[in-house]
Structure 1
């Protein structure tokens, strides 16, 4: 797979990180395979997660092909970049095609990035996972690499303005590969993956150098003022209802 677009995009991102003086801490990068396919499962707390998630694989000199909303590929600005980096468009009403493409990429030895929660978590804790992650890994015969990002929500997330303040700490944690097979029950394997990532998220939050009580970006369970998972679920339902209403309008 020829990559004429990805390298300059990475160079631009690195320059932006330097200008912002992000304090990026990467752990577990030794788990990223130097060759061969793997499915990178990432928690979703920010609109910039795909940028920082890809950054986590760079020490292994690997590029991550992300499964992303199809609308990004139709945008006149992001579309050429998404296609040029060989990311995978996901149409939620016709997901079979993107699923097949992801499996083909994995079998061809690529790293594919997925967000098992599908959408950004307003609570910044893990939402319920879709089973597609473990099903893809089992079908392609590749391991799952759990990855946890923390701090990215402070930059750009739902319900809050963008804030690219300099010197911000960012945590990227990669866990040991998880093997799933066609014999595994998808629901049980998905629960196992979520439990593993929940433990990693707890470690990342507790190790984060800033813990201001009442901070909007800190989960309620850790003393922050972010919505609880139940409140976040209600907000998600209201958002979906508003979108449906807008589609119905002439």
Structure 2
């Protein structure tokens, strides 16, 4: 079936990024399979992460169907677009339906995008990963593709105003080699391996990032362990 909505939306996103002069540094896209199912697993630091994570599949001419919370599909603007692009709504109280939908898509050769931290990390460090992505990969017999994003939090993230003016903000994307998910392995062990790989890619993206805070007032987007003023994971948990 022809994709009537997704490609134009991608084109519009590219045009917006050019207008905003967002400098995208993307490496490792050759690891996205040219055909067949896969689970793309990414860290989550901003509201636009699904757009940037999806861009990593475009060099291989693939589209990513993301699992996203159901409220996004109820919005009068984003809802029709999300449905037309065949993304998958997730009702956290009844997650089994979304899980089955994702499995069917994987078995039919789609790439499914998952943010296993479930919510945006306000410390901009990796939170614990839920095991659903690994279990899906096991059941569908497909690999997991680790992805790390950096810089997207500066555009729009939880608790901060959007910064979509022409600001020359760089965004760094890194894609790792596929990770197999054998059915004779414990899903938790596979999940730990994937998280470790995403952490390695995130470290690489942060080292390659071509910008630093201008001063202390601009260091909110940098994690505390890198000298920034973002809250630590413990502070985020305490604030609750």
Q: TM-score, normalised by structure 1?
A: 0.92
SS in 1 for 2:97: helix
Q: Does 1:171 align with 2:172?
A: yes
Partner of 2:64: 64
> Which is further off, 196-205 or 85-94?
196-205
Q: Distance in 2 between matches of 1:2 and 1:84?
A: 11
CA deviations on 1:134-173 (whole Å, 9 max, x unpaired) are 0000100000000001000000001111112421110010
Separation in 1, partners of 2:56, 2:177: 14
The whole-number CA distance in structure 2 between the counterparts of 1:76 and 1:211 is 37
TM-score normalized by structure 2? 0.96
Deviation at 1:2, TM superposition (A): 3.2
Would you say how many aligned residue pairs link Structure 1 and Structure 2?
Answer: 236
Runs of 4+ in 1 over 4 A off after TM superposition: none
Aligned to 2:206: 205
What is the SS of the residue equivalent to 1:216? helix
Q: Following TM superposition, by how much is the alpha carbon of 1:233 offset from its aligned partner in structure 2, in angstroms?
A: 2.1
The reply to whether residue 217 of structure 1 matches residue 221 of structure 2 is: yes
Contact 1:27 1:172 (8 Å CA) reproduced: yes
Structure 1 residue 11, shift from structure 2 partner: 1.2
Q: Distance in 1 between matches of 2:230 and 2:204?
A: 18
Shift of 1:72: 1.3
CA-based RMSD: 1.1
**d(CA) in 2 for partners of 1:169 and 1:75?**
29
**1:90-128: CA deviations, max 9, x gaps?**
000000000011011011000110001000000100001
Q: CA deviation at 1:234?
A: 2.5
Tell me how far 1:232 sits from its aligned partner.
1.7
Offset at residue 200 of structure 1 (A):
1.1
Unaligned runs of 5+ in 2: none
Q: Distance in 2 between matches of 1:234 and 1:189?
A: 29
